[in-house]
Amino acid sequence: MSESAIIELKNATIRQADNIILTDVNLKIEKNEFVYLIGKVGSGKSSLLKTLYADLPLRDGGGSVAGYYLPIIKRKQVPFLRRKIGIIFQDFQLLTDRSVKDNLEFVLKATGWKNKKEIENRIVEVLEKVHMGNKGYKMPHELSGGEQQRVVIARALLNSPDIILADEPTGNLDPETSDELAQLMMDISKNGRTVIMATHQHDLLKKFPARTVECIDGKLVDKSAPEFIPEVANNESEINQ
Ligand SMILES: Nc1ncnc2c1ncn2[C@@H]1O[C@H](COP(=O)(O)OP(=O)(O)OP(=O)(O)O)[C@@H](O)[C@H]1O
């Protein structure tokens, strides 16, 4: 496996139980890269992400994430791998019975933070990163969908993970809010994190261009690789320029 890549899959097969979802998956992502993961419904995006955070086992092929070699990762090592990864899902999954701050405090305490002042400081820091510094006292139902997702991003940042895996984080949001969130995810990656963001919203790719990989016909295709040639040219004049 490569020294510089923080995420690497080599000839990997992605499975859901006994079903093969993707084969011959080769993917190498360097530190601080931002990568879009696209593909039709059911094409395997979530399964790929789940394999990277060791929710699905990698039985065929090689793969390493943040220094952990996935084919032989032990169950007791998985929490340590997960501390290096912040995971963001489409449905916000905040605890509805407590404030934003208490949601974040819950996660910090569950991951071993004890010092009250340090906990308070970290909560303020991450909320400021997502421009929610003044909303810590609010209950989740008092926030818009976009604001809730910002809190979820803040929650993913709490333990300063090297990697953020986001599975359609803008899926439930209106276009303007999606744009703001995509911009925020890009800023997060510029500040020293590797981000993979699965999305169906292809307009984001145009507005905020970045490396793009696609799950298609049981394979993973890197659309930014030099050897990738689009099958159908959208606009001939563009090509001829
Ligand atoms: N727990 C499971 N057991 C068996 N098969 C599953 C399971 N979860 C998903 N699958 C199947 O795996 C395939 C890939 O699903 P996956 O959720 O990875 O796709 P996706 O690209 O993320 O789709 P979406 O865009 O809807 O989120 C689908 O055919 C799906 O039915």
pLDDT at 236: 42
pLDDT at 237: 41
> Which among 14, 16, 52, 172 is the best mutation to test ligand 1's pocket, defined by most ligand atoms within 8 Å of the CB?
16
pLDDT at 174: 85
Task: Find the 101 Cα to ligand 1 centroid distance in Å.
Answer: 33
Per-residue model confidence (pLDDT) at position 235: 46
88 beta partners? 166
Round to whole Å and give the CA distance between 67 and 24. 21
Nearest CA to ligand 1 atom 8: 16
Distance CA 1, CA 89 (A): 28
CA of 42 to the centre of ligand 1 (A): 5
pLDDT confidence of residue 8: 97
The pLDDT tens digits of the residues spanning 73-113 come to 999 999 999 989 999 987 768 999 999 999 999 999 988 89
Q: What pLDDT was estimated at residue 28?
A: 96
Residue having the nearest C-alpha atom to atom 9 of ligand 1: 16
pLDDT at 172: 77
Q: Which atom of ligand 1 is nearest to the CA of 43?
A: 21
Pairing of strands 194-198, 163-167: parallel
Q: Secondary structure of the chain in the HEC alphabet?
A: CCCCEEEEEEEEEEEECCEEEEEEEEEEEECCCEEEEEECCCCCHHHHHHHHCCCCCCCEEEEEECCEEHHHCCHHHHHHHHHCEEEECCCCCCCCCCCHHHHHHHHHHHCCCCCHHHHHHHHHHHHHHCCCCCCCCCCHHHCCHHHHHHHHHHHHHCCCCCEEEEECCCCCCCHHHHHHHHHHHHHHHHCCCEEEEECCCHHHHHHCCCEEEEEECCEEEECCCCCCCCCCCCCHHHHHC
Q: Which atom of ligand 1 is nearest to the CA of 50?
A: 18
> What is the pLDDT at residue 224?
82
- Answer for the pair 53, 81: CB distance below 8 angstroms, yes or no: yes
Residue found by looking up tokens 């803008």 in the block = 170
Atom of ligand 1 at shortest range from CA of 49: 18
* CA 19 to centroid of ligand 1, rounded, Å: 10
Looking at residue 241, its pLDDT comes to: 38
Please tell me the residue having the least CA distance from ligand 1 atom 6. Answer: 16
- Nearest C-alpha to atom 5 of ligand 1 is from which residue? 16
ipTM of the complex: 0.95
Retrieve residue 3's tokens: 């020294």
Mutation pick for ligand 1 pocket among 23, 25, 46 (CB with most ligand atoms within 8 Å): 46
- Neighbouring-strand partners of residue 214: 38, 221
- Which stretches of the chain drop beneath a pLDDT of 70? 1-3, 92, 225-241
Residue 178 burial (10 A CB sphere; 0-12, 13-18, 19+): buried
Claim: this prediction has a pTM higher than 0.80: yes
Nearest Cα residue to atom 29 of ligand 1? 42
Residues lining ligand 1, judged by CB closer than 6 Å? 16-17, 19, 21, 39, 41-47, 215
